[in-house]
Amino acid sequence: MVNKHVSFLFAAWAPMMLLISCANATGAKHNPLDAFPEAKEGMRRFVISLPGKQGSEEESLKVELIVGKEMLTDGVNRVRLANTIEAHTLKGWGYSYYEVTGSSEVMSTLMAPPEGAPKVQQFVAGAPVLVRYNSRLPIVVYVPAGLELRYRIWRAADTFNKAVEK
């Protein structure tokens, strides 16, 4: 009688234990990047992995995302792209990702450059966006082909200024 119970328990639990051991053997550790879809046609997916910081240091940091391209300009006019970076939430996960939308047409002021002025190679960007620094999750940005993503880290001052009530 005991053998029937043991064999029944083994038959019920064996598949479960096999699945658990297979998951452990393959190192089934969740990769946060697996939640994000591949880039659509005409887009590229950029991923920024930030280094961890000590204590509450991450709270005083921001990441500026800048999308643009290198191009020749006249060196006199202010030039920028007409696109924007929009934040989206990944359904079912709650993770944020960013997508560049709008036109990538070039906008410029209309000052006349001096006669024979040389062209200048510069990085022309659209409107940048500041996002929260979080070393636990990647920053994923979908960018149209032909553009590149750059970023920089911003740090808040250690002191606060006091506002004056009027």
User: pLDDT tens, 87-136?
Assistant: 999 988 889 999 999 888 999 999 988 898 899 999 999 999 999 999 99
If you ran DSSP here, which 8-state letter would residue 95 be given?
Answer: -
> To the nearest 10°, the Cα dihedral for 68, 103, 137, 47?
-50
* Helix (H/G/I), strand (E/B), else coil: 3: helix
| Residue 153 in this model has a pLDDT that exceeds 80 | yes
pLDDT at 25: 47
pLDDT digits (tens, 9 = 90+) for 17-73: 444 444 444 555 667 788 898 999 999 999 999 999 988 899 999 999 999 999 999
Q: Is the pTM of this model over 0.85?
A: no
Domain residue limits, the chain: 1-30, 32-155
pLDDT at 33: 81
Class level of CATH domain 32-155 = mainly beta
Q: What is the pLDDT of residue 17?
A: 45
Alpha-carbon span 85 to 101, nearest angstrom: 6
Per-residue confidence at 2, pLDDT binned at 50, 70, 90?
A: low
What average pLDDT score do residues 161-166 get?
Answer: 96
Contacts of 116 (CB under 8 A, 6+ apart): none
**Distance in angstroms (rounded) separating the CA atoms of residues 146 and 126:** 13
